[in-house]
Chain A
């Protein structure tokens, strides 16, 4: 399995490459009014309006730094049987790693809020944890988020 890695604080996380449409550089966002702070905003991705999730804010409640290594990972997001596009704002989106399934270990504690955290792998350079994209957005937010997009 090929994965794209990013970092939140000192931790490294990975997203399955098959879920990724494209990695794009930083752009200007138009902000969501009254939205949770982890919604960084929306942007025009190749003619379509795509919402962007600030991963650092979502996981650690810190705003992502606008560095050269900070990128938007555009992923496929399936909800209500429809496939949407979703941008994930991550820091240090710099590496691609290949993971073998048998090397993965079960994570320890998972709370209701951190259901997106997947299995772990112990690499020479440190621990990397898989992210389940689907679980990144709380269920109650999902519908409104993309309906909002459609209305735009």
Chain B
């Protein structure tokens, strides 16, 4: 076990009094070669045999490179519903940011403005548009294996970018457009009206939202009736 000789980051670095002159150049110790080299020292040690054994087993497995489909979609959860949008339509998914109230404009669907890297974007409530209840969601997904974070997703429509909040970004997957089921002719639920199809993921049905239609109807809530 190597002992760290010079723990400058704890003394003059970001974890210490921040007096190190290199900070001007690297901003944070984690970008400084002194720190990275010290971190590399960590890997200079014998591999425990159980690691090698588990890795040996891991590496015999074939890589899962089966072509799943031609559409890349990002799946997220809103209340109990699983929804998806085309990954191409997503600008970025970020941690939840504060929403700024807009006088005379903010209503149940339009929540206000969000500062996303210096760009002010309109923030809407997707659950309100789709009529999905987010109440009691905490009890729905009490998962001890991993933490569940609320996220904000920025989506680009035909002409504009906008933001909405989701309860969890589940992940990105590829689906084939053939595997999608057409909408029932008598679609009554709002999330079916706004979706371009439904596909199945681990026995759960996921509605693929049409981002243009969603953006359009968000936009229309801003106009005076």
- Residues on A lying within 8 angstroms of B by beta carbon are 24-28, 43-47, 65-70, 92, 94, 125
Contacts and interface: CB of A to CB of B under 8 A. Distances in A.
Contact of A94 (B40, B52, B62, B63): B40
A25 B45 contact: no
A26 B62 contact: no
B19 to A, nearest CB: 24
Interface of B: 33, 40, 42-47, 51-53, 55-56, 58-63
A47 B64 CA distance: 12
Contacts of B47: 26, 66-68, 70
Contacts of B46: 65-68
Contacts, number: 57
A91 to B, nearest CB: 9
Nearest to B44: A67
Given A26-B51, A28-B52, A69 B59 contact: no
23 contacts: A25-B52, A25-B59, A26-B51, A26-B52, A27-B52, A27-B55, A28-B53, A43-B56, A44-B59, A46-B59, A46-B63, A66-B47, A66-B52, A67-B43, A67-B47, A68-B46, A69-B40, A69-B44, A70-B47, A92-B44, A94-B40, A94-B43, A125-B33
B169 to A, nearest CB: 27
Given A67-B43, A67-B44, A26 B60 contact: no
Contacts of A125: 33
Contacts of B63: 46
B53 A45 contact: no
A46 B62 contact: yes
A92 B41 CA distance: 10
A44 B55 CA distance: 11
Contacts of A65: 46
A28 B56 contact: yes
A25 B62 contact: no
Given A27-B55, A66-B47, 12 more contacts: A25-B59, A26-B47, A26-B51, A26-B52, A46-B59, A46-B60, A67-B44, A68-B42, A68-B44, A68-B46, A69-B44, A70-B47
Nearest to B56: A27
B52 to A, nearest CB: 5
A24 B40 CA distance: 18
